[in-house]
């Protein structure tokens, strides 16, 4: 299964990034450049939708953290949205990422937090 990344600009400075498929070694490598390009932006607010991620490994988490740090350093903010994806939320909680990057189960909550 291939890994895809798409984005929707909700406003000039607010973007939703959706990742679909596996964030394993191959999948993370396949989207890493595009993910970084989409996430970057001074003061940008970003919701990363992981609800359709079927597998999340540490290399995928590394990519998420790196991009979240880069965005924060430019005055932006990233939040994560997992929907009802229990496997992904479990991995994020296991690694403590949920304490570093806000994690939400609904799109509405994630968008509100990103814009707050």
Partner 1 sequence: MNAVEHNPIEELLIRADVCEVSRATAWLKSASFERGVPEVEINRLELCLHEVLANIIAHGKTPSSSIGLQLDISRCEATVTVSDSCVACNPLAISPQPIPKTLAEANPGGLGVLIIRKTSDTQSYRYHEGQNRFTFGVRWKTHE
Which of 4, 18, 24, 109 binds partner 1 (CB under 8 A)? It is 24
What tokens does 67 get? 């991009």
Q: Where in 43-72 is the site for partner 1 (CB under 8 A)?
A: 55, 57-59, 61-63, 65-66, 68-69, 72
From CA 30, how far away is CA 24, in angstroms rounded? 10
SS3 call for 107 = helix
Residues 6+ apart with CB under 8 A from 47: 15, 16, 17, 78, 79, 80, 81, 107, 110, 111, 114
Q: Where in 70-109 is the site for partner 1 (CB under 8 A)?
A: 72-73, 87, 91, 94-96, 99-101
Cβ proximity to partner 1, 26 vs 37, nearer residue = 26
> Minimal distance in Å, beta carbon 79 to partner 1?
11
From CA 48, how far away is CA 14, in angstroms rounded? 11
- The residues that touch partner 1, with contacts defined as CB under 8 A, are 24-26, 55, 57-59, 61-63, 65-66, 68-69, 72-73, 87, 91, 94-96, 99-101
């Amino acid at each position: 299964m291939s890994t895809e990344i798409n984005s929707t600009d909700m406003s000039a400075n607010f973007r939703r990034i959706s990742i679909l498929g596996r964030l394993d070694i191959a999948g993370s490598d396949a989207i890493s450049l595009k993910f970084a390009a989409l996430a970057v932006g001074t003061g940008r607010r970003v919701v990363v939708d992981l609800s359709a991620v079927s597998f999340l490994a540490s290399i995928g988490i590394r990519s998420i953290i790196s991009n979240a740090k880069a965005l924060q350093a430019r005055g932006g903010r990233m939040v994560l949205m997992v929907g009802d994806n229990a496997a992904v939320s479990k991995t994020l909680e296991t690694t403590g990422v949920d304490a570093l990057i806000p994690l939400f189960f609904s799109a509405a909550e994630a968008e509100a937090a990103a814009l707050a």
